[in-house]
A and B are shown apart, each in its own frame.
Chain A
Amino acid sequence: MGDTRLAAFAWEPMHCAAYGILLLPLLSFLINGLWLGRKSARASAWTATVLMGATAALSIIVASGYRDHILTAPHLFPARAALAFEHTWLDFSLGSGAVLSARLGFYLDPISVMMVLVISFISFLVNLYSIGYMKDDAGAGRFFPLLSFFSFTMLGLVVSSNLAQTFFFWELVGAASYLLIGFWYAKPSAVAASKKAFILTRLADAFFLMGLLAVGVNAGSFDFAHLNGPEAAAALNHSVGAGLVTFNLLSLGTLGIYMGAWGKSAMFPFHVWLPDAMEGPTPVSSLIHSATMVVAGVYLTARLYPLFSAAEYTLRVVECTGAFTAVFAAAIACAQTDLKRILAFSTLSQLGLMMSALGTGGGGEPGAAYTASMFHIFTHAFFKCLLFLSAGAVIHAIHSNDIREAGAGGLRKAMPRTYWATLIAVAAIAGIWPLSGFFSKEAILHAALANGRYGALAAGLCTGALTAFYMARYFFLIFHGSAVGSRAPHDSRATHAQEAHPVREGALMTLPILILAVPSALIGILGKGFFTGTVRLWGAEGGASAGVSESALPMRHASSGSWLPAVATVLALSGAGIAWYWYAFRKNGAAFPDRRAPAWYRILAEKFYIDEIYLFLAKRVASKWIAAPAEWTERNIVNGAFDWMTGAVKRLAFLQSIAQSGQVQAYIAVALLGIYLLFRFTGPGY
């Protein structure tokens, strides 16, 4: 508490609201989980929604209080972070008098406040949406408490004042997602997916725990306020190890922590769990992809950014994994036919962008990189949630995940509100001016340029074009793809499903979609000033340790790269244009990589030379040389490697069971041999 980097302030409503933000979702979990959920699913749904709404209201109080009492309070400058409350949870005695305290706190700084707002707001809307979505599900009484729990864990994670608390909630987020992804536990694929998600992220978390211990023990504190200061980086910056194996402790520790983020944010090659996680109910997917779970990794990296930016090697790793994942996932998304899988890969790609943006900070402009990444997290949460909720509405209406079946349904007429909402979200993620994605994506590209990271810049531009292409494809195939009826074998089933369940837009499900459409469209232009203007996220507390001077901080729109938005927009529009031409105008159905190379293809090539290049790029290069190999790699090598690892462990286990013969003389022989070997190899001087 006595840290000078933390502002001291007293504004009672804020303290109370901060408690409320954590307690209300927990309360909802307890009430619904222990009692109400079993009595009445409907009542529990409404209780959860109302409590989540109250949480969202409280988060607004905290946010405005934070702005008025800390951020814009001149006497507190340069402190920009504060604690709404903090309780000591456990003191670890490290021996020789040193005590490492793990505390439960509520840390206020621009990004935590932003995340609290986003999480509570989106959780509220998802709750509202789920009332309609889960109406007919037998397990609805179990669903809402878990959803509240998920929100609670994520809120606890983002307001953590120290690494120990972060890890604690980090694992809880993992457990909550495990329960929700495997929500339909009678479905073997759902169980497999939830296990995969849990075990993979746990594997990454193992490194996180190591990094956390290495950093916390050596810096003497888990507190972010301390870790983000220059002393912590200096204390860590030395070599450890013996003989040939020596590490820089700072790189090792931060890399370990980043490994946790790597897994949670599903960066390549840990990404395999995320597409499978679609097995959960759609509202869960929308939460996982927009506000909870996957962004936790990016958030953690940002949370410790000053420490990370002192470790150049780690930042380079962040940048590379991010940039690679961005392009890789975008390429895969181009060839998918499952509605939710397309969105899942788009999330991967966008997360990659955020990560790579953070990583570019190594080039001397960490402020720009950090701001851009946080800005994108913010806008992405809204439009990605909107995409999932509207996709859920489509799935709910046609009872299928297949994009080709959706195309047959004439959904544009039947679901006009969903249609327009999806259009807004698609345009936003594609980065079309003036929708939100344009501004944050531009900020990321600017950050890469300002830092001189041309590789990340190229990856960003490439991802932008691909994103526009596959999102437009997604949109046109669902709502403008009636031609598919002539060739899709699933068509009859889709029509049949439709006859059985006439397509309707339920009010409770449409309302959140409509509400979300507003921020998806406008939050970029409104938030731009907050993120890059006078009120900067990047404060003095981080600048010092990273060796960044205050003057270098504002975004440089004017001085460099004013051509960037233009290039990005042109790329996005051409990507979307190709998709339009291909799927809406020519109505080529979803089978874009068509083996049969029809006659119109040659005619097209002769008529439009430009088109041919684009098509060649899109079809030959993007689809055949990038998307297909990428998918193959994923299926065979990445998944295969994980399978091989588990297989190897099982074989080892079998070997051990042979040694266990059941004969005492064998046991004693092994024991004596063991003692002898221990004595021989670990005894001193023998």
Chain B
Amino acid sequence: MTLAEFTPLLPDLLLLALALAVLKIDLWSEDGEAGFHLTWIGLAGLALLLAFGSRSDAVFADYHITAASRVWKLLFTLATLATVFLSRPYFRAGGNARGTLAKSGAFFGLLLLCMQGMFALVSAGNLIVFYLGLELATMPIYALAAYQPRDADSAEAGSKYVLMGGFSSALTLFGISFLYGATGSLGFPALEAAVRAAPADPALWGGIFFLLGGLGFKLAMAPLHMWAPDVYQGAPTPVMAFLSVASKAAAVAALATLFLSPLNAVRPDLAPCFAAAAVLSMVAGNLGAMRQKDLRRFVAYSSVAQVGYMLLAMLGEGDGSRAALVYNLVTYGVTGFALYFIMGVIGKEGPETMSGLRGLSRRHPGLAVLLVLCMFSLAGVPPLAGFLGKFMLFSAAAAEGHYLLVGIAVANAVVSFYYYMLVVKEAYIAPPGEAAAIRLRPLQIMVLWGLGLALLVLGVCPAPADWLARAAGN
């Protein structure tokens, strides 16, 4: 094997080097600045490499580099990059009312290691690699969720996530063992052939359901979603952002990797299961979000509902589904980070709750407009990004004739409208109190404009996300 043959593997190797380097550089850096700059520059470079670098597919034993995996990796990289930027004020003294985070180098290192796990997950060609990736993508978050120093909620989030994560790992592993028992193989190609040959094997189905249970945890899919509100609320906001975008994308990617290729043959039989889980998630998420006062908890429930919408795509035809999922994750990520950005800004002086948003339209009209765009996008109002995301998901399911399900989803979207409007109401209608006007730094204003434009552009001109979705589909 020559070195040139390793070029497709370059992003994965670079990421590992980056993670180690960030951990190491932190040992000598006093204020953590070096670690931050190294991380974001490295991630930006990685994103460029993934977007414009080598396009050849390659197989390294059970590690497969494909076009689809590259798209997922790009998605993870961008989500992590956004998380890194988002976390910046949380490490500054006085940057957040909840308290300052310490040890930024380890924080970024853990994020990068988590990403490494996600990379392995989407490149897996074997259930063992798949499981290792899943674990590596989960374990750093145990530590990250408890990262807020001397905070009982954060400690609770960490311990809950450990317990639930351990439980879900056990389920996953149990499911994998069933699959191995049913098919006699761990490699994806052999698995696919075996599943095609005997799709009704009870052991196979036992395995699939346990596996689905394990993945459902990571995905926060109802009825396995109940950890999400507690963990999201307790974790520091950047970690919550990472959980709700990057980690969710990883779980969706895992679902797609497994059920759109090796287990594709049984997917039609799984349709009722996906449908039931989708409806449950939408209903649980939407009903839960309605009564929330804490924004992180609100995000948790709203993301459970989003999972419900995304599961609709699992009912569609393969390539279309993958494209719809990627597209929706892009739009959801942009919308989410716009909301987290606002949370970060208001969190500087007050709690990140509904009442913290009060009077935002007076305190900073631009932020309030961005909030409205976010909420409209989450609710799926055109021409914002969220609309196209939802539309793609719904049409993926509708194309296979699941009209009733699409109907339920659309009805849920209407219900979700109610609580998204409640947020807008806080920002515009509720009396502002005596909170002072918010002043943004020039960089923050640029971010505000960028996110607002992205919300509009992704809704009006879907080319960038469409390009990604297509690449993932083919």
Contacts and interface: CB of A to CB of B under 8 A. Distances in A.
Partners in one complex: yes
A673 interface: yes
A533 interface: no
Contacts of B317: 94-96
Give 6 nearest A-B pairs by CB, closest first: A674-B223, A95-B317, A682-B273, A682-B272, A667-B226, A95-B320
Contact of B320 (A93, A175, A198, A683): A93
Contacts of A167: 382
A671 B213 CA distance: 8
Contact of A657 (B280, B288, B411): B288
Interface residues of B, number: 73
Given A649-B415, A678-B209, A95 B399 contact: yes
A654 interface: yes
A319 B272 CA distance: 38
A171 B382 contact: yes
A678 to B, nearest CB: 5
Interface in B436-464: 461-462
Contacts of B226: 659-660, 666-667, 670-671
A97 to B, nearest CB: 10
A686 B428 CA distance: 53
17 contacts: A185-B429, A202-B417, A206-B414, A210-B398, A213-B394, A217-B395, A252-B403, A653-B290, A656-B287, A660-B288, A671-B226, A674-B224, A674-B280, A675-B210, A678-B277, A682-B273, A682-B275
B180 interface: no
A35 interface: no
Interface string A658-686: 01101010111011011100110111111
Contacts of A94: 317, 320, 395, 399
Interface in B366-399: 376, 381-383, 387-388, 391-392, 394-396, 398-399
A210 B406 contact: yes
Contact of A240 (B223, B288, B403, B473): B403
A103 to B, nearest CB: 13
Given A214-B403, A217-B398, A646-B418, A93 B473 contact: yes
Interface of B: 160, 163-164, 167, 171, 200, 205, 209-210, 212-213, 216-217, 222-224, 226-227, 229-230, 269-270, 272-273, 275-277, 280, 284, 287-288, 290-291, 316-321, 323, 376, 381-383, 387-388, 391-392, 394-396, 398-399, 401, 403, 406-407, 410-411, 413-415, 417-418, 421, 425, 428-429, 461-462, 466, 470, 473
B379 to A, nearest CB: 8
A668 B425 CA distance: 36
Nearest to A164: B391
Interface string A212-239: 0110010000000000000000000000
Interface size class of A (residues with CB under 8 A): 35 or more
B473 to A, nearest CB: 6
Contacts of B428: 185
Contacts of B396: 95
B452 to A, nearest CB: 11
Given A206-B410, A682-B272, 8 more contacts: A185-B429, A670-B226, A671-B223, A671-B224, A673-B223, A674-B280, A682-B270, A683-B273
A684 B200 contact: yes
B359 to A, nearest CB: 12
A100 B280 CA distance: 30
Contact of A679 (B209, B229, B406, B466): B209
Contacts of B227: 664, 667
A668 B406 contact: no
A674 B395 contact: no
Nearest to A185: B428
